[in-house]
Amino acid sequence: MLLLLLSMFCVLEHSVETDEISCNGLLFDHVYYDRELLLENLGRPYNLVVHKFSATLFFSHTVQKGTEVDFEIMTFDLNKNFTNVVGGVPGGYAIAYDPGNDDIYFGGHDGIYKYNFLTKSAEFFAEEGKSIWGLFIRKNFYYIEYPTQKLHVYIDDKFVQVAEAVNIEVDNFFTTKRFDVYFSNKTALYKVDRFTQSPLILNDDIVVRQIVEDGFGDVYIAGNNGIYVEDKPYNRIKKVANMDHLFGMTFDQNDHIIYSDKNTIYRLIPSNNSNACRRLLPPEIDSLMQGFEAI
């Protein structure tokens, strides 16, 4: 009888604890994380970049201007939960961090702009009259022009087309701390072999929204349906998080993942209820993440 009562008590206690747990997060690389809401009611937040020294998140999103849809760039203070619209960048879309000089740059309908941290606005930098699709800075300064999708690099005080990519359209461009090169377009996601300098196809199925690197030098690909990492021995990618309508991702000053869907920005934080919440996940979701779903 005593054993029966103890057994009933344990079941009841487990039920109460489960009811109090809020499992609104997701699995990332086999581990369950809580999901913190940062911003909502946005229009497709793209190009997430964190300036880690000031704990500031930069991103672009769509806005309605009369009968037309345009882009603007916003900042979000991760410590004070304060937002601000960055002025001075017509159609602000592209965002890049220059790690060598600790500067932030933007691209819009009419050139490249540099962020002024004192005035919290942007000042014209270069390429007047050029529509900028993408920016990337590491050792060299690159931009992608719209609508040609041609890749340019800053050499000898001017921007010129990258010789190796003259005949290639580029939607996303990224070089790692080890100077591995990744790029994507409407055809596929590629990695440039550092020895042959030839592009290798990593995947020709997903739509790449952003390519980023964490503090350990691991590269992540934000696809339209989830987050992927490179399965290096096999020249392919593998999924580590399943998400619908993913638009961008980055890492904050503590290397926590920040990501966006079609109208919201979230941060993933370690959960105190990781094991309990994982047990509560639908079986099909948990099985999906086992083995990462190689693509």
pLDDT score of 2: 42
**What pLDDT score was predicted for residue 145?**
98
pTM of the model: 0.88
Q: Could you tell me the mean pLDDT of each successive run of 10 residues in the chain, 295 residues long?
A: 41 47 86 96 97 97 92 97 95 97 97 97 97 97 98 96 95 94 97 87 96 94 96 90 95 96 96 84 49 38
Q: Under a CB-based contact definition with an 8 Å cutoff, are residues 153 and 159 in contact?
A: yes
Q: Is residue 9 part of a domain?
A: no
Q: Is residue 289 part of a domain?
A: no
Q: Let me know if residue 279 belongs to a domain.
A: no
Tell whether 104 is covered by a domain: yes
Tell whether 288 is covered by a domain. Answer: no
Find the domain containing 157 and state its range: 39-252
Please check whether residue 169 is in contact with residue 185, taking contact to mean a CB–CB distance below 8 angstroms. Answer: yes
Number of domains comprising the chain: 1
Per-residue pLDDT, 118: 95
| 1 inside domain | no
List the CATH number of the domain containing 111.
2.130.10.10
